[in-house]
């Protein structure tokens, strides 16, 4: 029997299983951004951005799909032209016939996302989110009342629509038994009992969760599968609610190290273009906090976690001054140097699903700014 070809949508689903696209930041643009979701995929390229160097690589070694961390299309485009920088990459990819999927903030906050990948590269132990559950503040609890024998079917409908996911777990729910009452008016066709008569029936209160962006889809799926004409459904916003994962990562070194030794480990294992530090030089490092990309705003959370060293990118002048006056050193390794370690994770996820069917390669690039010499940590 001939195997059906892998499609762009199939690749999206594989990534969504590990980095749920619905868990993106509200301002972000992720998912299938270019191309036909139903088009066949035989080769995938993975890169941080759709830069000119990446596009040149695709011309030399074609692929059907480009998976990036940073969105290929971020802001709404009024035109798609090669001489318009915001749309130049999209224009080139369309000319090449290459579809594009971007997994950005959803990969940042996933349980095994960007910062987790950095922490694992450093060999940290007991890795956990620096700020658990953020920024899933649009999470909602969905409560539906259903006959016990149909609860599994309704939960399946919610799960198929993207609900019931917390971190690396799916079909998450809670059930409690009770009695429901209703009376149908003339012209109704109740699933249990008869119109015009009050009924008292055994029901299950089925609770699950969904990202705010998925709530309409989950509700449609529940109503389509529910046996009642008018199912009772509650949607409860979870203020500060978490759907797993979170911002950043924190963990412990296998053994205490001096600041210099810890930074040398960062240089060897994360291979950043530079390391610039602010804060005390004489420091024993046991616990390390990390935020991939631009994360200097989370220095207070790193300090509260008990970290002896905070690693991130894009540290601004006044943030460096605050670190210099504090007790916790902050190391700036550049924006891309940390984020690029999610690319092998994208490749691993896709090969686990499509090994032997789809070729997957990572296009690595150096930090786009001039690098300082290796080993110069910028101390002092």
- Please report, for the domain that includes residue 200, its CATH number: 3.30.70.120
Q: Does any domain span residue 184?
A: yes
Q: Does any domain span residue 370?
A: no
Report residue 71 CA to chain centroid gap: 13
Q: Quick check: 362 pLDDT over 70?
A: yes
Q: What is the pLDDT of residue 298?
A: 93
Phi and psi torsions of 29, nearest 5°: -130, 105
Q: What is the pLDDT of residue 102?
A: 97
Q: Are residues 28 and 66 in the same domain?
A: yes
Other Cβ atoms within 10 Å of 197 Cβ, number: 10
Q: Are residues 230 and 212 in the same domain?
A: yes
d(CA 321, CA 330): 10
d(CA 73, CA 90): 7
Q: Does any domain span residue 24?
A: yes
Render the burial of 115-144: b for 16+ CB within 10 Å, e for the rest: bbbbbbbbebeebebbbbbbbbebbbebeb
Q: What is the pLDDT of residue 240?
A: 58
Q: 13-27: per-residue pLDDT in tens? A: 999 989 988 888 888
Q: Are residues 286 and 222 in the same domain?
A: no
Q: What is the pLDDT of residue 59?
A: 96
Q: What is the pLDDT of residue 104?
A: 96
Phi and psi torsions of 296, nearest 5°: -60, -25
Q: Does any domain span residue 202?
A: yes
Q: Are residues 31 and 69 in the same domain?
A: yes
Q: Are residues 230 and 274 in the same domain?
A: no
Q: Are residues 63 and 13 in the same domain?
A: yes
Q: Are residues 128 and 254 in the same domain?
A: yes
Q: Does any domain span residue 368?
A: no
Q: Which residues contact 9 (CB under 8 A, 6 or more apart)?
A: 32, 37, 38
Bigger pLDDT: 213 or 340?
A: 340
Q: Which residue among 237, 254, 282 closes a domain? A: 237
Determine which helix (DSSP H) or strand (DSSP E) holds 200, and give its type and residue range. strand 198-210
Q: How far is CA 174 from CA 6, 155, 223, in A?
A: 35, 10, 19
d(CA 315, CA 309): 14
Arithmetic mean of pLDDT, 137-147: 86
Query: Do 113 and 19 contact (CB within 8 A), yes or no?
Result: yes
Query: Do 82 and 88 contact (CB within 8 A), yes or no?
Result: yes
Q: Which residue among 194, 218, 237 closes a domain? A: 237
* Lowest mean pLDDT, pick from 58-62, 123-127, 239-243: 239-243
Bigger pLDDT: 252 or 138?
A: 252
Q: Which residue among 176, 208, 237 closes a domain? A: 237
Query: Do 14 and 353 contact (CB within 8 A), yes or no?
Result: yes
Bigger pLDDT: 138 or 18?
A: 18
Bigger pLDDT: 380 or 186?
A: 186
Q: What is the pLDDT of residue 350?
A: 97
3-class DSSP state for residue 188? Answer: coil
Arithmetic mean of pLDDT, 46-52: 96
For 29, the token pair is 């643009």
What mean pLDDT, rounded, does the chain reach? 89
CATH code for the domain of 57? 3.40.1390.30
Arithmetic mean of pLDDT, 67-93: 93
Q: 27-43: per-residue pLDDT in tens? A: 899 999 999 999 999 99
Domain extent at residue 184 = 140-237
Q: Are residues 232 and 187 in the same domain?
A: yes
Mutual orientation of helices 343-354 and 8-18 as an angle, nearest 10°? 120
Q: Are residues 129 and 276 in the same domain?
A: yes
Q: What is the pLDDT of residue 188?
A: 81
Arithmetic mean of pLDDT, 92-104: 97
d(CA 290, CA 296): 10
d(CA 343, CA 66): 12
Q: How many domains does the chain contain in total?
A: 3
Query: Do 80 and 87 contact (CB within 8 A), yes or no?
Result: yes
Q: Does any domain span residue 371?
A: no
Q: What is the pLDDT of residue 242?
A: 62
Strands 65-68 and 43-47: parallel
Q: Does any domain span residue 311?
A: yes
Query: Do 142 and 218 contact (CB within 8 A), yes or no?
Result: yes
Q: How confident is the model at residue 187 (pLDDT cuts 50, 70, 90)?
A: confident
Q: What is the pLDDT of residue 1?
A: 55
3-class DSSP state for residue 199? Answer: strand
Preceding omega of 326 cis (within 30 degrees of 0):
no
Q: 321-338: per-residue pLDDT in tens? A: 887 778 899 999 999 899
d(CA 236, CA 239): 9
Q: Quick check: 170 pLDDT over 70?
A: yes
Q: Which residues contact 189 (CB under 8 A, 6 or more apart)?
A: 195, 229
d(CA 138, CA 241): 7
Q: Are residues 272 and 195 in the same domain?
A: no
């Amino acid at each position: 029997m001939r195997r059906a070809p892998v499609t762009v949508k199939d690749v999206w689903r594989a990534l969504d299983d590990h980095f749920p696209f619905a868990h993106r930041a509200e301002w972000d643009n992720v998912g299938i951004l270019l191309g036909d979701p139903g088009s066949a995929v035989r080769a995938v390229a993975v890169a941080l951005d759709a830069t000119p160097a990446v596009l040149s690589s695709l011309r030399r070694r074609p692929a059907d799909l480009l998976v990036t961390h940073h969105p290929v299309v971020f802001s709404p485009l009024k035109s798609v032209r090669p001489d318009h920088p915001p749309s130049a990459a999209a224009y080139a990819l369309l000319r090449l016939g290459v579809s594009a999927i971007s997994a950005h903030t959803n990969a940042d906050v996933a349980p095994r996302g960007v910062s987790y990948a950095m922490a694992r590269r450093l060999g940290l132990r007991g890795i956990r989110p620096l700020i658990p559950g953020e920024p899933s503040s649009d999470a909602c609890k969905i409560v539906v009342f259903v006959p016990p024998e149909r609860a599994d079917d309704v939960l399946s409908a919610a799960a198929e629509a993207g609900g019931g996911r917390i971190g690396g777990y799916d079909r998450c729910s809670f059930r409690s038994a009770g009695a429901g009452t209703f009376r149908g008016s003339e012209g109704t066709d109740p699933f249990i009992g008869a119109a015009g008569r009050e009924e008292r029936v055994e029901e299950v209160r089925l609770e699950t969760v969904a990202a705010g962006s998925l709530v309409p889809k989950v509700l449609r799926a529940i109503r389509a599968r529910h046996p009642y004409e008018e199912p009772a459904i509650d949607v409860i916003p979870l203020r500060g609610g978490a759907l797993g994962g979170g911002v950043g990562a924190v963990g412990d070194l296998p053994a205490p190290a001096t600041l210099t030794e810890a930074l040398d480990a960062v240089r060897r294992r994360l291979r950043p273009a530079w390391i610039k530090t602010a804060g005390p030089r004489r420091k024993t490092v046991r616990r390390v906090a990390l935020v991939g990309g631009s994360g200097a705003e989370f220095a207070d959370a790193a300090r509260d976690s008990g970290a002896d060293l905070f690693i991130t990118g894009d540290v601004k002048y006044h943030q460096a001054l605050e670190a210099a006056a504090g007790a916790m050193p902050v190391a700036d390794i550049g924006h891309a140097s940390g984020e690029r370690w999610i690319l092998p994770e994208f490749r691993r996820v896709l090969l686990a699903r499509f090994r032997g069917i789809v070729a997957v390669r990572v296009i690595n690039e150096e930090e786009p700014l001039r690098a300082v010499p290796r080993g110069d940590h910028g101390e002092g």
